[in-house]
Amino acid sequence: MSMVNHNFSRLAGSYLFARMKDELDRFKSAHPEVDVIRLGIGDVTRPLVPSVISALHRAADEMGAPAAFRGYGPEQGYQFLREAAVRREYAPYGADISPDEVFISDGAKCDVGNIQELFSTDARVAICDPVYPVYLDSNVMAGRLDNVVYLPCRESNGFAPEFPAGKVDVIYLCSPNNPTGAVLDRAMLTRWVDYARTTGAVLLYDSAYSAYIRDPGIPHTIYEIPGAREVAIEFKSFSKTAGFTGLRCAFAVVPKSLERDGVNLNQLWFRRQCTKFNGVAYIVQRAAEAVYSDAGWREVNAVIDYYMENAEIIRTGLEKNGFTVYGGKNAPYIWWKLPHGADSFGFAKTLLEKTGIVGTPGVGFGSCGEGYFRLTAFGEKSRTVEAVRRIAEAKF
């Protein structure tokens, strides 16, 4: 018998990102004169929009007024925010979601990491490769490493996962995808929903970047697809939609019509959240509500437009210089196919040394990410332009 959860020792570890940081620290101390440009981080850089700031101030004042003060809030989130989320994120797309199916949280990371608690340790889990590492790591921690089926997303399949060979119980999908920037279109999503309906699998649909979708044909929510209410849980976040990476707010949608083994997953998630989660701060939920006001929505979309202009600058700039790149059209991520089959970590070092630019090696997101490099559009415009200029000049 052992006392500690040894599944943690089976994690691949974030050694690659730690090594990247070491490389950067070494480079900066050896070359203090170089003006380093960071196109690697997945964090936003633009400040919160005015509607959000006003809502924060108003809510903070309320908390100081005896009649308006609030203590513990509802674990599922305040009704005002759950209603606003439905009005802005679901009703316009004809998606039949009700506020009692929305669970406000402090991050999509926590939600996508915690949701696996609803499934048995024996559940077989399908995860895209490459993808946001939290899906895999949270399942490894829970003892499911040997139950993971990888869904390769490569150039040859347009970076879209194909159906797993054997039976799986849970399937993580991420669209727009981090890191490839690929999106699942209506036909692909319909096939996944039909597949899940036929096999009984549950889809965990991470849509944290849906606000970056530009192509009108791409669904903004999986619930645009008929039948999705019976098979899918969806995750959204205010982090990249509204610059809340520091403020923290997100939500999961668990439809009441989603049942497995005779158990209602909406009730299960409610029970889980009530036990382990205290809810998001009132003032933060008021700020999130303000994102969905008409003015707030205009303001956050202007910021997203700004980032997407950066994405366009990177994408077209690299293409003009003869590189093959993917993503960047419906996502803030550009997936750079490395020249001459370079390995992604080695390339990260070369790029840093030759140009002073920091990016993320594709292999950090899974073995199928090898040979690729992720650049992000979250920087400042003039710095993004300068980065592209340096890459063009370096002639890889």
Nearer to ligand PLP, 84 or 173 (CB): 173
Give Cα 149 distance to the centre of its chain. 20
Sign for the CA dihedral angle at 223, 97, 51, 38 comes to negative
Give residues with Cβ within 8 angstroms of 302, minimum separation 6.
49
Q: How far is CA 153 from CA 156, 212, 369, in A?
A: 8, 20, 9
Spatial CB neighbours of 278, under 8 Å, sequence gap ≥ 6: 72, 75
Beta bridge partners, 127, equal 150
Which DSSP category does 34 fall into? S
Indicate the residue among 210 and 266 with the shorter CB distance to ligand PLP.
210
CB 7 within 8 A of CB 142: yes
Q: Considering only 65-73, 75-83, 102-110, 366-374, which stretch makes contact with ligand PLP by CB under 6 A?
A: 102-110
If binding is defined by CB under 6 A, does position 109 make contact with ligand PLP?
yes
Minimum gap (Å) between residue 236 Cβ and ligand PLP: 8
Closer residue to ligand PLP in complex, CB, 86/112:
112
Q: How far is residue 322's CA from residue 196's CA, in Å, rounded to a whole number?
A: 40
Residue 178 interacts with ligand PLP (CB under 6 A): yes or no: yes
- The residue (of 180 and 355) whose beta carbon lies closer to ligand PLP is 180
Nearer of residues 179 and 255 to ligand PLP, judged by Cβ? 179
Site for ligand PLP in 224-263 (CB under 6 A): 237, 239, 245, 250
Binding to ligand PLP by residue 132, rule CB under 6 A? yes
Q: Are 216 and 73 contacting, i.e. CB atoms less than 8 angstroms apart? A: no
326 Rama sector, left if φ>0, alpha if ψ -120 to 50, beta otherwise: beta
Cβ closest to ligand PLP, residue 287 vs residue 391: 287
- Is residue 138 a contact residue for ligand PLP (CB under 6 A)? no
* Contacting residue, 39, 55, 84, 174, with ligand PLP by CB under 6 A: 174
Q: Closest residue to ligand PLP, Cβ-based?
A: 107
The residues in 373-392 that bind ligand PLP, with binding defined as CB under 6 A, are none
Give the interface segment with ligand PLP, choosing from 103-111, 118-126, 274-282, 350-358 (CB under 6 A): 103-111
Per-residue interface string for the shown chain with ligand PLP, residues 197-216, x marking contact by CB under 6 A: ---------x-x--------
E strands in the chain: 37-38, 102-105, 125-129, 148-152, 170-174, 202-206, 232-237, 250-253, 259-260, 263-264, 324-327, 333-337, 357-358, 360-361, 372-376
Nearer to ligand PLP by C-beta: 174 or 288? 174
**According to the binding rule CB under 6 A, does residue 329 interact with ligand PLP?**
no
Residue of 115, 122, 89 lying closest to 254 (CA atoms): 115
Binding site for ligand PLP (CB under 6 A): 42, 107-109, 112, 132, 174, 178, 206, 208, 237, 239, 245, 250
